[in-house]
Chains A and B, each alone.
Chain A
């Protein structure tokens, strides 16, 4: 299935800003992050279609995953 992956801040270094990527059906959020070679500990915020989601959530075709390192402060 297809997912849109958006990366932000330092996650973009040596990766990309936004990409359409193919994943196995019923893959979990945690597995997607692992495939991107990002460790869960580095993740500050991850949103699936704009909402916070647990790492064991199964994803479905066409969803948008946005990944941020730990950042905070306005």
Chain B
């Protein structure tokens, strides 16, 4: 058992290191070049500097880096996002996976600018990590090994108190499955996820079952100019409320509002990306979900962290009014509901709960089921079998469970399937790139592998967010659009903002200036809006340089061949040439 005291330099932000090779911990002052960074900009900078790009992601040279956003821990709305960075076990690229929940705000209040977990323990023992104002303690763990995330959260609340923050892995992470994620406790002791990129496997390789966070008597955030901050935070909150997407759409229908929108546009992945519309879409729509939730006494809107004024989350109950799951996202609903044809919210919600519990990414896992269904492993639409496989096969690590737990790309290879929707081995989320082409450029070029949150072109393609529609069915303007939203996403991911802040940031003129004002008032700086754009570009280039050093080339910035097949209803095809895609990197 080891501890390192942080208490001395109370108000100075720190970098914490947890070395699992010798089970030691230390804290360092923040190097000058990291001082102006946070969230994704910081995790990617640290990974690029300290991780050997060609290393094995589950070996001794990979590191798992957590960093709260630059504005996390303050009273400003929707600023409590946590970034987790590493070389991804799933893609082999650099990875930043972003999450809500309570951990980022706790880290920030403890003055933890980043926590870097490195090395590998020898031997078979598992560990728990406890972080508090007094430092970091690593303790051998036996009780919770083999347990699901919900049991882990419950047990840790008993052990450390109700308010404890939790980052944990489920059984899938313990088994180092490539679909495994890192769970983060939310305000209701339920779970949000660092979903993408198999980071649960990385935490599992380091033999860490959980990280518990106690922010009792934390030094808290010292604002350079509290009055200026307060005023800017007020303007920012007003911008969030005034935009119809964040002020009305998301709190009313959740992200599931996208089901009908994307279906109408002909880009709703259906039957493993065979069709662009789903007959049963009304049953899985945001509109139906809202009615169902209200009827059953759930919560149609709900925040995953304190200070969330958008409240895209919800609490979904069963017919008898018992809790089933929360934070049921469009991606999960669409990919299970239409792409795997499960078609009803109750089965999807039940699957969502199990995925959270065993700790697998609901996007990667749902895409995997689509591929497995095409391969004949189970029939399309068999929600009960999905549930059984999640619980009895993947959750227990049977041979079939390990195959499916290795993600869509590997399942496609193992079963000899050509319709395998992945880029850089990461499953394509719930927008077909043939009929929503801007998001296709993001899938192709993102340093993360296929990831809609890396550059959400959908808002502009379909709804004209940011100054008018860029026709989703035409190639014109998509590369520029994707570049623009990818750079903007880095701003959001680095400041600790929820992705949805991107809509008011694009449309409400006071939004970005208020963010800059908050940054300046928080840190006593004089940053300009140009600085933010520069941060996005620099970070993107840093990430790409890592990927190139890891062996990736422009040839990996391509969509799977099957997207050349026409997609109904528009007979849309993916017809970007390699050169056209490569234009993305001209900046």
| Chain A residues within CB distance 8 Å of chain B | 6, 8-10, 12, 17, 44-45, 47, 50-52, 66, 68-74
Cα distance A71–B452 in the bound complex, in angstroms: 17
**CB of B390 to closest CB in A, whole Å:** 22
A47: chain B residues within 8 A (beta carbon):
264-265
Binary CB contact string for chain B from 92 to 130 against chain A (1 if under 8 A, 0 otherwise): 000000000000000000000000000000000000000
CA A17 to CA B431, docked complex, whole Å: 23
Total inter-chain residue pairs, C-beta < 8 Å: 94
Q: Are A72 and B265 in contact (CB under 8 A)?
A: no
- Alpha-carbon distance A68/B264, docked complex (angstroms): 10
Known A52-B469, A73-B500; judge A9-B286 contact (CB<8 A). yes
Segment at the interface with A among B50-58, B292-300, B412-420, B456-464: B456-464
A45-B265, A50-B570 are known contacts; what are 17 more A-B pairs with Cβ within 8 Å? Answer: A9-B249, A9-B286, A44-B244, A45-B462, A47-B265, A52-B472, A68-B463, A69-B249, A70-B248, A70-B249, A71-B244, A73-B312, A73-B499, A73-B503, A74-B255, A74-B429, A74-B458
8 pairs, CB–CB < 8 Å, chain A vs chain B: A8-B264, A68-B261, A69-B248, A72-B258, A73-B246, A73-B312, A74-B258, A74-B329
- In angstroms, how far is the closest chain A Cβ from the Cβ of B479? 19
Cβ-based interface call for B252 (8 A): yes
CB distance from B230 to the nearest CB of A (A): 27
State whether B250 touches A73 (Cβ < 8 A).
yes
Contact check, A9 vs B462: say whether CB atoms are below 8 A apart: no
Q: Are A52 and B286 in contact (CB under 8 A)?
A: no
Q: Which residues of B contact A73 (CB under 8 A)?
A: 245-246, 249-250, 255, 257-258, 312, 330, 459, 499-500, 503
**In the bound complex, how far is the Cα of B155 from the Cα of A58, in angstroms?**
64
Chain B: residues with Cβ within 8 Å of the partner, total of 45
Across the interface, which residues of A come within 8 angstroms of B157, CB to CB?
A: none
Which chain A residues border B331 with CB–CB below 8 Å? 74
Does any Cβ of A come within 8 Å of B148's Cβ?
Answer: no
B274 touches A (CB below 8 Å):
no
Contacts of A68 in B (CB 8 A): 260-261, 264, 463
Instruction: Decide if B264 touches A9 in the complex (CB within 8 Å).
Output: no
Question: How far, in whole Å, are A1 and B263 apart by their CA atoms in the complex?
Answer: 26
Is B471 part of the contact surface with A, judged by Cβ < 8 Å? yes
- CB contacts (< 8 Å) of B282 on chain A: these are 17
